[in-house]
Structure 1
Amino acid sequence: MAVFEPLKPNRWQPTPLAAGPFAGLQGGAVASLLTAEVEALAEKRKWGTAIASSAWFLRPTPMTELRTKLSVLTEGGRVSVIDNTLWPANEDQPCATVRVTLSRERAVEISGFTEPAGEAADPTRFPVRTRRAAHGRPWFMDAMEAREGDGVAWFRMNHAIIDGEGSLSKLPLSSLLGSADWTHGIARPLQDVVADPNPNLTVQLFRQPEGRWVGIRAEARWRPAGGLGVGSGIVCDTHGEIGRVSMSVILVPFPRQTKPQPAAGLASASN
């Protein structure tokens, strides 16, 4: 099962694996869908490889039929920039949008520069971490395997974001956005006190991931007096660093009568 099933061009039906921990879809799933559509067109349109994706979650995305629309800001040359926006199929107010930057790689020789040797990691030596959503039903965390150790949270997608032969390897940026979306929850300063949705998500890569394991070495900072925070982290694969992730955080107190068990530690109350 893919996280999103195609209905017709630019029309998608989210499966239960796209759900967030509370109501609506997980922000990382939404960002992954919008970026995956761009990556799927990249080879045909000669845009190059996706090196960055910035998502804005404008409002909760419901579990309903969705429609998307791509807009080319610039293409050709070495860099292309593509926007992709999502709406519920029968509504006019958008729920989310992404801006994807793609580049045609070129070999550049720099005298005296040598890339540092990476130390291979083996995520399977760490215990599996499982988290249930507050609603008790399947959700986006069930689409991946999660492990944690030595200060790094490791994720491996076991379901494609969208169907397609080899989509987990041919759509590398969109396949790691869901993992990156947990960043602020991995290192959240306090547990069981507030929800901490992120209204945006940015991932930038300087190297394409090798293999399906994605690691996040995360940190988070909160300012409860202002109700704001940030999450950031180093993104890596089993061979070393590949990029960075960052997001803003909005602190939302739980209702007094109900304090849901958060999908925290590896996961948080995201969009």
Structure 2
Amino acid sequence: MNTGSYYEPIDEHRYKPTAHASGAWDPAELHFSPLGGLIVHAIDRYLAARPESGLVLSRISFDILGRLALDECEIRVESVRPGRTIELLEAVAFVADRPVVRARAWLLGSGDTTAVAGGGADALPHPDTLEPWPLADLWPGGYIASLDARAVAPPRPGRTTAWISTGLDLVAGRDVSPLAAYVALVDTANGIAVRQPPTAWMFPNVDLTVHLHRQPEGRWVGLDTTVTFGPTGQGTTSTVLHDIAGPVGQAQQMLTVRPLPGTGTPGTGTPGTG
């Protein structure tokens, strides 16, 4: 096993996960975060095989359709709404010939809008000024163990701002775009601002949507995250996304909130996607 990446390529469309991609509630499952980045990488490769269009990915939404087994996956990409200035792509990830993630990506035309650019949150303190945060003390799993985390302020239940980075490649032996490497860390947001101990409660996300007003750069992902639990088993994780230069967009995750079986809390549940 290559120990310096989350995935190893098998052929043009298939990939094998390493132990670094393993999930937090079940080591036999994938953590969704690197799989999300892998899907963006597959979209990049699909676009690279076509003439340059000048379009940039401005929104991607992932629907997680079921259990993400730590096993080989295949990703298929197609255009469902072609266009010269706006295009919609769809990517589907399969494990054991079963679709497990369906993603849709809007590509928008690019141009110089510097004169009217503005708005958004202030930039976060630089991660080099912050102490490491041992996120692995809160969560198990190979993916979490692979991260370099830096909290901007002491984490609170449901509210945390932190930087996340990794020294691992997304795909062994392949060049990966800054966007794919960035998206590969975004799903971590649901694990940094926990409202309840993950040893007693599960709150896996069943989706992830990322909106971008500019393309992220660099190896650090800034997550300014708020988690809300409702009274009937649903929740949301809302995040302002940053890179070193400032905000780049927003991410939203929908949660299914349920107690872990055998913990003495009311109800039952089974592990999800985290």
Which TM bucket (shorter chain)? 0.7 to 0.9
TM-score of the pair, normalised by structure 2: 0.82
Q: Which amino acid aligns with 1:226?
A: T
Residue pair 1:187, 1:218 contacting (<8 A) in 2 also: yes
Task: State whether structure 2 residue 239 is matched by structure 1 residue 233.
Answer: yes
Q: Deviations over 1:94-141 (max 9, x none)?
A: 11111122223111365xx463696573112212123349996x6112
Following superposition, the deviation at residue 40 of structure 1 comes to 2.8
Is 1:60 the equivalent of 2:67? yes
SS in 1 for 2:217: coil
**1:14 is matched with which residue?**
17
Alpha-carbon distance change, 257 to 82 in structure 1, aligned in 2, over 3 angstroms: same
Residues 1:131 and 2:155 aligned together: no
1:122 equivalent to 2:126? Answer yes
SS at match of 2:5: coil
Find the counterpart in structure 1 of residue 165 from structure 2.
Answer: 156
Q: Which of 217, 231, 236 lines up with 1:210 in the alignment?
A: 217
Does the 8 Å CA contact 1:34/1:97 hold for their aligned counterparts? no
Structure 1 unpaired stretches of 5+: 260-268
CA distance 1:133–1:41, change in 2 (3 Å):
farther
Q: CA deviation at 1:221?
A: 0.8
Change over 3 Å in CA distance of 1:178–1:165 after alignment to 2: closer
Count of paired positions: 254
| Residue in 1 that maps onto 2:106 | 101
2:254 equivalent to 1:248: yes
Contact 1:35 1:98 in 2 (8 A): no
Q: State the 1:203 CA deviation.
A: 0.8
Q: Distance in 2 between matches of 1:149 and 1:255?
A: 34
Superposed CA offset, 1:128-155 (max 9, x none): 123349996x611233311111352101
Q: Is the 8 A contact 1:157 1:175 kept in 2?
A: no
CA deviation profile, 1:48-74 (whole Å, cap 9, x unmatched): 322221111111111222222112112
**1:148 is aligned with what amino acid?**
A
The runs of 4+ residues in structure 1 deviating greater than 3 Å are: 113-121, 131-136, 163-166
Listed as ranges, the gaps of 5+ residues in structure 2 are 154-159, 266-271
Q: TM-score, normalised by structure 1?
A: 0.83
Q: Which residue of 2 aligns with 1:29?
A: 34
Q: 1:80 to 1:164 in 2, by over 3 A?
A: farther
